[in-house]
Structure 1
Amino acid sequence: MASSLKKLSAFNMTSLVLGLAFLYLPIVILVIYSFNASRLVTVWGGWSTRWYSEFFNDRAMLDAAWMSLRVGAVSASAATLLGTLAAVALSRGEGLRGRTLFSGMLYAPLVMPEVITGLSLLLLFVAIDAERGFWTVTIAHTTLTMCFVATVVQSRLSTLDRSLEEAAMDLGCDPAAAFVAVTLPLILPAIAAGWMLAFALSLDDLVIASFTTGPGSTTLPIRIYSEVRLGVKPEINAICTLIIGGIAAVIVAASFASKLSSARGESAAPL
């Protein structure tokens, strides 16, 4: 038995190492080459931070990064609000007429090719004569990410005990007050996770943004793509490294916050 467990452990360890290498080795190489002193990305010329300085002195790239951050924050907030309301309606509206149709329409962007979504939104904006720019990209990203937020929040709502809300209503709360006082704190981690997912998807999107953007509202992925077509510059490695570092910091902070919340909940639980 011990030998079989040892063999199984070795197999699992090998699979884990190969899987992690497949996922993260390209990212590690990108981070290392962001500190390459050479202008040629395939030739190592020593350690240097010159490309980070190049990025912070590149006004067009900084404007594109600021545009992506603004679009991501606004669209993620709107998607979180709408997605949470939709998740509550789906999880609590068992007898709602048209629930199946509403659910299918809500989750359609999950399986819809982004080219079709982007083209349909472009036709909509052209039909209503909307000037393409910050708000059209934000609306498009809200449409794209709302279904992801709804999926995350609905999965959390499906595991909650409805008797907690019913007990609050028995004590005098109306349904809205019971939801805010009891259910909302319990699903808050799922809402936060949905916001972060929506923000990451918005920051990453290239296809839909390319259909709905206009002059003066270029996002960072579009800017990077336009630069890469002329050849990969070490400055792009530096930009990607900064994005990776920012996302890693957010994930670590969210993990610590989740552990702290769990610890407080356990300490407050009755013995």
Structure 2
Amino acid sequence: MRWLRRNAVVLAGAASLVYLLLPNAVVMLFSFNKPAGRFNYEWRTFSTDAWTDPCGVADMCGSLALSLQIGLLATVFATAFGTFAAFALARYRFRGKGTGNALIFLPMAMPEVVMGASLGTLFLNTRVAFGFVTILIAHIMFCLSFVVVAVKARVMSMDPRLEEAARDLYAGPVQTFLRVTLPLAAPGIAAGAMLSFALSFDDFIITQFNAGPSTVTFPVFVWGAAQRGVPVQVNVIGTAMFLIAVAIVLGGRIASGRRRRQA
């Protein structure tokens, strides 16, 4: 009992991680399954057919490429605009700053169905054709708040005396920003960018409200395929995305550890 009380927090954390990662393990396991029918819900036999032919399902890789393209563009724009907004909210005083901080949290607290329907109504009233552009605009607006919050938290934790020291050493504003401010804020910017891409790639509700009839992203494809039977290749794509995300996180941790040891 004493051992349990001493390690209760560690055990609870491990149990939480297992609970969070269990769906990923199931998806990974069933990516090697060969189902008897259309539904990949019961284990039948081990097979690597889906991994050797991930684009064997019609239109799936096209929808995946579209989701990747929208996710990358949404990440670039949301990260750029969100970083500028975060620096403004964290470093400067101006009229309406409190209102701006409150408005930043609205897309995060608002249900996605409300935001998706509102943007869809806006595009209808302005007679904008639904398709790639409307999805991209909607994803940028949705991801912007998450980038602002991540970068703002990092900027507020930065020591302004480091930038003052750079200016005392005759560094100009551009040099100070590129050599001191930007490297210090880089972890927050990277976190916001990764979160933005994950949210954009995974989004279904906002996309469904703002997509045209011929614009099918990967989540929309999976939703449509679920009515007829989700192919095993969907599990392959999900497993690959999960492994890539884990590799990026582990690579960042390893690089950060090396820099810390060198310092």
**Pair 1:37–1:146, CA change in 2 (3 A):** same
Residue 223 (structure 1) aligns with? 221
Give % identity. Answer: 33
Does 1:35 find its partner at 2:32?
yes
Residue 50 (structure 1) aligns with? 49
| 8 Å Cα contact 1:52/1:239 also seen in 2 | no
After TM superposition, the score normalised by the length of structure 1 is 0.88
How far residue 164 of structure 1 moved from its aligned partner, in angstroms, is: 1.6
| Alpha-carbon separation, structure 2, partners of 1:176 and 1:228 | 52
After TM superposition, list the pairs within 5 Å mapping 1:1-271 onto structure 2: 4=2, 6-12=3-9, 14-40=11-37, 41-93=40-92, 95-264=93-262, 266=263
| 8 Å Cα contact 1:189/1:258 also seen in 2 | no
| Alpha-carbon separation, structure 2, partners of 1:146 and 1:63 | 26
| 8 Å Cα contact 2:34/2:46 also seen in 1 | yes
Moved more, 208-217 or 83-92: 208-217
How far residue 33 of structure 1 moved from its aligned partner, in angstroms, is: 1.4
| Alpha-carbon separation, structure 2, partners of 1:187 and 1:205 | 27
Moved more, 151-160 or 14-23: 14-23
Letter in 2 for 1:21: V
Moved more, 51-60 or 187-196: 51-60
Secondary structure at 1:47 match in 2: coil
Secondary structure at 1:217 match in 2: coil
| Alpha-carbon separation, structure 2, partners of 1:59 and 1:253 | 34
How far residue 176 of structure 1 moved from its aligned partner, in angstroms, is: 4.4
Secondary structure at 1:55 match in 2: coil
| 8 Å Cα contact 2:55/2:233 also seen in 1 | no
Moved more, 225-234 or 190-199: 225-234
| 8 Å Cα contact 2:222/2:230 also seen in 1 | no
In structure 2, runs of 5+ residues without a counterpart are none
Count of residue pairs the alignment pairs up: 261
How far residue 232 of structure 1 moved from its aligned partner, in angstroms, is: 3.3
| 8 Å Cα contact 1:34/1:234 also seen in 2 | yes
| 8 Å Cα contact 2:78/2:144 also seen in 1 | yes
| Alpha-carbon separation, structure 1, partners of 2:179 and 2:222 | 45
| Alpha-carbon separation, structure 2, partners of 1:57 and 1:218 | 17
| Alpha-carbon separation, structure 2, partners of 1:207 and 1:61 | 19
| Alpha-carbon separation, structure 2, partners of 1:53 and 1:39 | 18
How far residue 179 of structure 1 moved from its aligned partner, in angstroms, is: 2.3
Moved more, 133-142 or 46-55: 46-55
How far residue 174 of structure 1 moved from its aligned partner, in angstroms, is: 4.2
**Pair 1:130–1:44, CA change in 2 (3 A):** same
How far residue 192 of structure 1 moved from its aligned partner, in angstroms, is: 1.1
| Alpha-carbon separation, structure 2, partners of 1:197 and 1:219 | 18
| Alpha-carbon separation, structure 2, partners of 1:100 and 1:73 | 31
